A and B are shown apart, each in its own frame.
Chain A
């Protein structure tokens, strides 16, 4: 019993990520072709038929592995569609890594893509099973906004201070995104503008919410020992963790909405696999699930970067800024990219790919040691969270 590091380590040897945004001129097929072909080129010019198996992450843009095989004309390959809410991208990657590590396949791909902007809605429409009408119907911002009064009460922090930290997070991620050509929103936004925006839910304004976007990303994965056949600078996988809670927090009076236990559990498991004992100093940069600004704030505690009840202070002190001790969402995050569900986890990983290869341009972090990707789905009390740890060093 237990969760362990991969018996046979694996590495990413090719990655690609499309532009994210309101891509009115591209359908999901176009996005999947662009990301898959891009990753194959990045892996030294592989042919799609050289890949032994595929994992496709998509929540609402298609069903079955055929969503990937049809546009790419892939024939007679094992292709699996993966869905785990907003953590779908990381989940496709995790399962692909296991397949290579097991020895079942030599070369696999994880592809994530989502076409959301054809739905015509603000926000996301979650697929739902026909029901009796009694499950609470809250918008996603409303569910996450519950964190604010709960956190304020638990730690005795005035809501105004929390809002200030939320505003800082929005400002930071937009400022990071302004440097990223693939981001949907590439405009720095003054804190005054962010703070003055009207509310959508609780303390959350539109600036506290990630946008809706189309996009895709893909990775080619091989055993670590084979990695240099494909690239000089592979990205090695040190940990793959997933935690699905019982989903009962919203019906359990022991839960107070001020924390995200599944995120903490997935981080603990990942740190153990990677041999990380002090994440606050050992992690060089992190891509985390900033679906809403309070999420990113609380995640700083769940991931062990900040002490409990102190994340808001660390955020305001600039600890997670681009030039801070531990840059978080240096690519702009969900805030700047938007959140095409199946793609987001792989988009986060793509920033690690660039950073560990020294290809991140204006956003480059000097000499990164470990990079952390945290990707989650659901809402406070009803969550799945995936944590991936990568490095330029082979485990």
Chain B
């Protein structure tokens, strides 16, 4: 009786206009926009956002499985960062499924096998300017809490593994290389057909008994061919949001879309074709409340334009002359370790004597001077208001000017930080904000300084 208990997706706010790419490169005809990770996001921060959303009100989990083809660190676990920033206890096992795009399917399979788990996939799709990955991809994340009281119960799986080179990328490289398109079609299409037939056979289902089909593959032409084997109605849920291929997160984003469209009793077939094929069948249970629960609809309704020049700068493809200022100082590991609850979990200290929230935690209350009398309080879901603000053109931030705000949190507590997802947005004292886990900087020694910032918060009705 294992399956998906809760799910969520996350689409970053910046939107890159493909026409802007075409204009700058004087090539192609770009149409529409694609979501791109902001200057202070990476696969880890996007995973944190999706995981936090999925974990809201969820049962306790025992493990985290984090898939991405663009890991922020190698050797050092990124899943550990996700676990810490998602507020998961130290007893939770956190594993990285990094590198291959197929990790998205692998993490889901591992999480379903493990039982009480969080499966999260997050990816950035980029390439050299003018590449298909750049224009057709989507940066996104999706997370699933797996457990014994599912809204979508796993009915069966089938997997095939095939060794061939269709796409490959060296660690740290921007560019993904590909072989000729027709080669991939001939490899992938039979793999998908066989995996689908196998899983349906195991589940004793026919194609027409499937209400929702999720097709995920980086190979656009293979996808188009395979797609013809299903009805438009079956594909409508997963394709409703119209995102491009989202790498290791693509399967998850598609599944989240299908779940948004599904009602109890529906069967969902999830097929991923990358270096083989993986197929999953879920049946939606009566626990599924329905509706656009993934957050995809809300995320895609928002968005802010980013110019192609800024976008290339964000990805390190068009570095700009920095201000004549000292190099960014990295956080030091022992200090980050000591304050991990604050730095990664955004846990403040609420004074038991006067009730004021101290951000960051300290031994002597900044309001009443009571000593060592504090309760830990998570600020992650606490909204606040701008107390004052400025634009800093001399900031270390990648995107200038840095929007800097002093935030007064609802229920008490003040912190100064960068306001993100606010490029070109007019700010005012009193504006509503909410916390988000982002990068402050990446230092010369490669240390990524993760911090909590705030972003604009639209009131929910």
Contacts and interface: CB of A to CB of B under 8 A. Distances in A.
Interface of A: 119-123, 125, 128, 130-134, 136-139, 141-142, 145-146, 148-150, 153, 199-202, 246, 248, 250-257
B429 A202 contact: no
Given A201-B391, A250-B414, A133 B404 contact: no
Nearest to A254: B367
B393 A131 contact: no
Contact of A253 (B413, B440, B452): B413
Q: 9 tightest CB-CB pairs across the interface, nearest first? A: A133-B331, A139-B394, A142-B392, A202-B390, A248-B366, A133-B449, A132-B335, A136-B416, A130-B332
Contacts of A200: 393-394
Contacts of A120: 324
11 contacts: A120-B324, A131-B335, A134-B342, A138-B395, A139-B395, A142-B395, A146-B389, A202-B390, A253-B409, A254-B367, A257-B387
Contacts of B358: 251
A128 B394 contact: no
A253 B417 CA distance: 14
B324 A149 contact: no
A174 B267 CA distance: 76
B424 interface: no
A47 to B, nearest CB: 41
Nearest to B409: A253
Contact of A252 (B323, B360, B414): B414
Contacts, number: 132
Interface in B381-406: 387-396, 401-402, 404, 406
Nearest to B414: A253
Given A150-B429, A246-B366, A137 B396 contact: yes
Interface string B336-351: 1011001100000000
* A interface SS class: loop
Given A142-B395, A252-B366, A253-B408, A150 B343 contact: no
Contacts of B390: 138, 142, 145-146, 148-149, 201-202
B326 interface: yes
A146 B429 CA distance: 11
Contact of A122 (B324, B404, B441): B324
Nearest to A151: B388
Contacts of B342: 132, 134
B404 A136 contact: yes
A133 B336 contact: yes
A125 B401 CA distance: 19
A245 B391 CA distance: 26
A250 B324 CA distance: 26
Contact of B335 (A130, A150, A246, A250): A130
Contacts of B395: 137-139, 142
A131 B388 contact: no
A145 B404 CA distance: 11
Interface residues of B, number: 49
A365 to B, nearest CB: 36
Q: Most chain-A Cβ atoms within 10 A of its Cβ — which of B389, B396, B404?
A: B404
Nearest to B418: A136
A212 to B, nearest CB: 11
Contacts of A139: 325, 392, 394-395
A200 B325 CA distance: 13
B236 to A, nearest CB: 45
Contacts of B449: 133
A250 B391 CA distance: 17
A254 B408 CA distance: 9
Given A123-B394, A200-B394, A252-B414, A149 B336 contact: no
B323 A251 contact: no
B400 to A, nearest CB: 11
B125 to A, nearest CB: 28
B324 A132 contact: no
Contact of B388 (A123, A128, A257): A257
B451 interface: yes
A253 B195 CA distance: 59
Residue from the set B388, B406, B418 with the largest chain A CB neighbour count within 10 Å: B388
Contacts of B330: 133
Interface string B343-377: 10000000000000011100000110000000000
Contacts of B415: 136, 251
Contact of B387 (A121, A130, A253): A253
Given A122-B325, A125-B326, A134-B452, 11 more contacts: A130-B329, A132-B332, A138-B416, A139-B325, A145-B390, A146-B404, A153-B388, A251-B359, A253-B408, A256-B388, A257-B406
B359 A149 contact: no
Nearest to B449: A133
Contact of A251 (B335, B338, B366, B401): B366
B412 interface: yes
Contacts of A250: 406, 414, 416
A146 B416 CA distance: 11
B327 to A, nearest CB: 10
